[in-house]
Amino acid sequence: MPKRNSSVVGREFGQGVRDAIEQSGMTQRGLAELVDWQEAKISDAVNGKGGISEVDLIRLLSYCRVPHAEVDRMVALYRETREKGWLQFYEGGEPVPLRALIDQERLANKITTWSLTYVPGLFQIAGYIRAQLENSAVIKPSDFDDLIRLKLDRQVIFDRSREFLFYIHENALRLEVGGPDMMRTQLLHLLMMAVRPYITIRVVPAAIGAHAGGAGPFVKLEYNQYEPAIWVEALRTGLFLDDKESLDAYDDVLKWLDKHALDAEESRRLISSLEAQGGVSLVDLAEEQL
């Protein structure tokens, strides 16, 4: 089956239209008759394919009796569908970008992550997350618990129905977050996850020096039904990219990482060696826990 030509923001917009119709209690056919449209026009909007104007959208939402705040959100999404990429902003203490990423991860069947500075978020334990937040210049302490819970809940995505590939720079594993005991626990967790057959971890050695991933971390999301997307996160923003030029550029970075990273077994041994104490191998400990 060919993949749908639907952008990330287009799918979010389509979900909003679908929710509006469902809460109205009408069917797509009934609503089409009411607004005097072809049913295919509403179907295209629901599937994030466009085909309606901003005036059409407001009219549709009015018939569905959508609250004003949601109308504003949908109009903003509509305008974003006309742009290249989808930029999300943190709103006060609400991690809107992270929630958007989580929604897309649930749709993806393969997730490839490049992590340059920290252990990838999908692997982070609670103490590691808290230590990061305590040293944040922008996250308020009152938001710590909710954000930790959200990040841990995100990790339920790990299952055999998906494939996960992680490229991690060695410096991200050497950076001590939360003290040596915390790092040892974090690395042990990393090794325990690495033995799952649908998870591959590959370390990029620091000895390589300059590398193609220097522009920053990112996540590539691949779907059964849609074209891939790239997720890039900054201080208080997150950006989805799904245009061909961007996808090609990030694929070139992944090809470089694939060529220069250690293989999975070499990576496990390196991670084990970083915090092994008293002659006890973290690899052996990880296997004993399973």
As a whole number of angstroms, the distance between CA 142 and CA 46 comes to: 37
**Are 119 and 168 within 8 A, CB to CB?**
yes
3 located within any domain: no
Check which CATH number belongs to the domain holding 17 and give it: 1.10.260.40
**Are 138 and 187 within 8 A, CB to CB?**
no
Strands (E), 157-259: 163-169, 199-204, 218-222, 229-233, 237-241
- State which of 59, 80, 101 marks the end of a domain: 80
- State which of 80, 95, 117 marks the end of a domain: 80
pLDDT digits (tens, 9 = 90+) for 119-165: 999 999 999 999 999 999 889 999 999 999 999 999 999 999 999 99
pLDDT digits (tens, 9 = 90+) for 54-110: 898 898 999 899 999 999 988 888 888 767 788 888 887 789 899 999 999 999 999
pLDDT digits (tens, 9 = 90+) for 28-51: 888 888 888 888 888 888 876 667
Residue in the block written with tokens 């809940």: 153
54 and 190: one domain? no
185 and 136: one domain? yes
64 and 162: one domain? no
177 and 233: one domain? yes
Range of the domain at 206: 86-289
- State which of 50, 80, 110 marks the end of a domain: 80
**Helix, strand or coil for residue 277?**
strand
The tally of domains found in the chain comes to 2
Strand partners, 86: 240
73 and 105: one domain? no
**Helix, strand or coil for residue 229?**
strand
Check which CATH number belongs to the domain holding 148 and give it: 3.30.870
CA distances from 156 to 40, 150, 253 (A): 36, 11, 28
